[in-house]
Structure 1
Amino acid sequence: MFSFKEVQYKDILNIGNLTIKKHKVTSLVGQSGSGKTTLLRLLNKLISCDGGEIFYNNQSLGTIDPVGLRREVVMLPQAPAIFSGSIKDNLLIGLKFSEKPPVSDHQLYEVLKLVKLNKELDQDAEKLSGGEKQRVALGRVILMKPEVLLLDEPSSALDEETEDMIIEALVNYTKENNKTLIMVTHSKKIAKQFSDEIIEIKEGMVVHEEEV
């Protein structure tokens, strides 16, 4: 799905050859500042490499329209935006941005169930806790039905028990719908438990790749 050929980005990343496979759950692990989030941002052209080339489905990212790419390869940052308004407004706004039709309240409640958030759609999203906001943002991304989900520490604001439940639900969703999940995680336990592949990055370089 993604392949890197001698990719460089500033003094942050220097990756010779790397392949991230389709329809797999891939975890990027490593210390803070190692370049994990930068790698994630390269995958949907939030930033572009200074040297080398990245391919998506055998097509150079340099030749792909970034807006179209970001509708197919959607990134959820570590501190996702929550907009003023209700939970429903926040869930639907991703569909609006990507020019997809809105969905029914029933489908919205199904997504809330998936992300383990027992709330009413008309509740004020800005009054939610950090972990609840993270789950609303996750639901927003899932509703967009991207081919690739890029998640930067998707469970950083959650307690350990909720983290396990959310990641498990995400992984199941990915596999049941033939999607691809690439996530940065601080937790080696999460990476081992839920990934098909683990890529370890140290000082901007891939130092270890492992099939789980």
Structure 2
Amino acid sequence: MFELNNIKFKDILDIPYLKINKNITCIIGPSGSGKTTLLRMLNRLNAPDEGKITYNNMDISRINSIKLRRNIVMLGQTPVIYPGTIEDNLQIGLEFSEKLPASKEAMKDALDRVELRKELSDTCSNLSGGEKQRLCLARVMLMNADTYLLDEPSAALDKNTEEFIIDNFSKFVMENNKELIMITHSELIAEKFINSIIRIEQGKVVETYNE
């Protein structure tokens, strides 16, 4: 659970109070409204100029940043793919967070969840934009975080694939009692989580169905 009090950041965000305490939350709003900045603050990629953010009642500014990002994993808009194979890319998130490697079975299950039909030994050099996004989603699933922050996780996907992946990622979150906070412009996704929406406009929270 996140709680934000008197958050200000440049002329981008001004949030007197916000609580995020559901398994799945969608952040919506027009481009340039501060959604990505807010998401980045939740795992200290940005720090507010004023105010305090707590995560499970702990001030995140006092939590070791490496430890924090083991528990709160963020996937940005642009998929990051490393040289090597599908397996290399699935394991690298665990390596960075100093966790044990995933089993072959766990990696294949993650690929199935995001509908990426590739072998673990396949190279990543010829992946399409949509395939890269799916691979990154599978990678963060394997990191077994408590909270996932996703910035437009299905932006590079067609509508049918988008629905399949979000449904499966949401199922994964609910089954494992985790937390998912995602920015989306997709009406399809927003309609699925109509009772778990935070709307931001011009850096202010103007509507919330999350409490």
What SS does the aligned partner of 1:127 have?
coil
Moved over 2 A (4+): none
Q: Distance in 2 between matches of 1:194 and 1:123?
A: 35
What SS does the aligned partner of 1:126 have? coil
1:18 aligns with 2:28: no
**Cross-structure match for 2:124:** 125
1:49 aligns to 2:48 (yes or no) = yes
Change (3 A) 1:211 1:44: closer
Stretches of structure 1 lacking an aligned partner (at least 5 in a row) = none
Counterpart position of 1:28: 27
CA-to-aligned-CA distance 1:177-205 (integer Å, 9 cap, x gap): 00000000011331121354100000000
Q: Distance in 1 between matches of 2:138 and 2:3?
A: 28
1:21 is aligned with what amino acid?
N
Q: TM-score, normalised by structure 2?
A: 0.97
Seq. identity, %: 50
- CA distance in structure 2 between the aligned counterparts of 1:180 and 1:29, rounded to whole angstroms: 17
Secondary structure of 1:40's aligned partner: helix
Distance in 2, matches of 1:61 and 1:10, equals: 19
Alpha-carbon deviations, 1:15-50, whole Å to 9, x = none?
01100004x100000011000000000000011000
User: Aligned partners of 2:105, 2:147: CA distance in 1, in Å?
Assistant: 24
The answer (yes or no) to whether the contact 2:4–2:54 under 8 Å persists in 1 is: yes
Quote the offset at 1:211 in angstroms: 5.1
2:163 partner amino acid? D
1: distance between equivalents of 2:144 and 2:102? 12
- Quote the Cα distance in structure 1 between the aligned partners of 2:192 and 2:10: 33
Q: Secondary structure at the match of 1:88?
A: helix
> How many aligned residue pairs are there?
211
> 1:25·1:197 contact (CA, 8 Å) conserved in 2?
yes
For 2:71, the equivalent position in structure 1 comes to 72
Q: TM-score scaled to structure 1, two decimals?
A: 0.96
Q: Distance in 1 between matches of 2:71 and 2:21?
A: 16
Asked if structure 2 preserves the Cα contact closer than 8 Å seen for 1:26 and 1:195, the reply is: no
Query: Match for 2:17: what amino acid?
Result: N
**Is 2:2 the partner of 1:2?**
yes
Q: Distance in 1 between matches of 2:29 and 2:126?
A: 33
Q: How far, CA to CA, are the matches of 1:94 and 1:128 in structure 2?
A: 19
The aligned residue for residue 175 of structure 1 is 174
Matched ranges for 1:17-166 at <5 A: 17-22=17-22, 24-166=23-165
RMSD (CA atoms): 1.3
Q: 1:105 Cα shift?
A: 1.4
The amino acid across from 2:16 in the alignment is G
2:38 is paired with a residue whose SS is: helix
* 2:125 match: secondary structure: helix
Deviation at 1:107, TM superposition (A): 1.5
